[in-house]
Amino acid sequence: MTQLSIIVPVYNVENYIRPCIESIFNQGLDESYFEIIIVNDDTEDKSMEMIADIIKIHNNITVINQENQGVSVARNNGIEVAKGQYILMIDSDDLLIENSLKPVLEIANKTQVDIVVADYLIMTNDEIKNLKSICQEDFTIREMSGEHFFEKELDPRECYIWHILFKREFLIDEKMRFYPGIRYQDVPFIHECYLKANKCLKISLFLIVYRKWSGASTSSFDIKKAKDFSIAISKTWDLTQLKGLSQAVDFKLREDVWTSFCLIVFLICRGLPNSSERNTAIDYLRGCAPNLYFKNGAKQHFLSFLFNKMPHALIKLRYFYGIIFEDRIIPYSRHILKRLFR
C-alpha cells in the first residue's frame, strides 16, 4: 500500500525542478512506499525536459498535464488522484533534506493523526549552493488537537503547507481543497485544516529547505495580488461561521484575520502607485468581505469603522502616515537619538 503521495506543481522552474525531484529520491525510502505526482501546469520553459530522464526510470512517478490554472488547481488535481495514506505538497523550487522524510512518515503511519507538522529552513540560492549537510539533533514529538495547534502554534504570517503531511482521508472527508486561481491560497486552507483536524503532531525535525527569493514584497505588489489577497482574507473570515468554535479559538481566528487585514492595507498603500489603484483595491476587499469588522480595542473599532463607512479615507490616512511618519519622522528621530547617545 502506498504510504505517501508527494504532489509537485511545475511551472517555469527549469533551474530548480531537477534538484527538487532528486531530493525526494534521497530519503532512504523504498520506492514502493511513495508516489510522486508531478502536475505540469502548462509550463512555458524546459522544466519537464529537465526531469524527463528521471520520470522514465522511476515507476512511481505520475505526470498530470493541465492547462495553466495555477498552483491551487494543480494541487487539487494532485489530491484527486493521490493514493497514499498521507499527502505532502512541496513547491518545485524547494528541497527535501536528506533522510528527513522517512522518520516523519514512520511517525505519521504509526499515529494516524490528521496532520503532521515538521520544521523547515529558509535559505537563499547562495546558501543552498554552499549547503553541505544539516545536522539533525534528536527530535521531540508533541501531540495536540487541531484547535490547540491553531491557537498556540499557528502564525498567520507563516501559513506554509510544504512542511506538513496531511492524512488523505482527512482531506477527502472534510472536502479540503484550495481556492482556485489566487495567490495566498495557503492562508484559508491552513486555517481550515487546523480548525477541523482532530489530532496533530509537531515534530522538531527539519524536513525541507524553502528557497527564499530576493526583493521586497511590496516591489511586486499589484492589483491582481491585492484582489487575490482580498479573496484569501474573505475565505478565512468565513471560517468564523464554523459551529462549535471555542471563545479562545474564535478570538485567535479574528486576530489572524486582523493581521492579514493590516498587512493588505499596508501593501495597498506602499505597493500600488496611484490613488485610483489604491481605491480600487480597498473597494474590492470591501466587496469580498462586507461583514469584516474587528472589535478588540479602540484601534480595531476605529479602523473597522473607516473600512466599512469610508474605505478611501482609511487608505488615504494610512498612505500619508507611511510617507510622513514611517519614511521621514521615524528615521529622522532614530538618527537624532543615535547622535545623542554616541
Using one digit for the tens of pLDDT, what is the confidence trace for 275-321? 999 999 999 999 999 999 999 999 999 999 999 999 999 999 998 88
Does one domain contain both 153 and 280?
Answer: no
Does one domain contain both 139 and 154?
Answer: yes
CB atoms within 10 A of CB 168: 18
**Which of these, 45, 51, 46, 44, lies nearest to 8 by C-alpha position?**
51
Return all residues near 251 (Cβ < 8 A) that are at least 6 apart.
296
pLDDT at position 218: 42
**How many domains, the chain?**
2
The DSSP secondary structure of 56-98, one letter per residue, reads HH-TTEEEEE--S--HHHHHHHHHHH--SSEEEE--TT-EEPT
340 within a domain of the structure (yes/no): no
341 within a domain of the structure (yes/no): no
Average pLDDT over the chain, rounded to an integer: 92
Contact (CB, 8 A) for 51 and 21: yes
Confidence band, pLDDT 50/70/90 cuts, at residue 151: very high
Return all residues near 259 (Cβ < 8 A) that are at least 6 apart.
156, 157
Contact (CB, 8 A) for 34 and 60: yes
Does one domain contain both 207 and 222?
Answer: no
pLDDT at position 340: 60
323-333 mean pLDDT: 67
| Residue 324 belongs to domain spanning | 217-334
pLDDT of residue 258 exceeding 90, the answer is yes
145 within a domain of the structure (yes/no): yes
pLDDT of residue 71 exceeding 60, the answer is yes
- Distance of CA 181 to CAs 68, 71, 135, 336, Å? 10, 8, 38, 48
222 within a domain of the structure (yes/no): yes
For the record, the C-alpha cell of 222 comes out as: 499589484
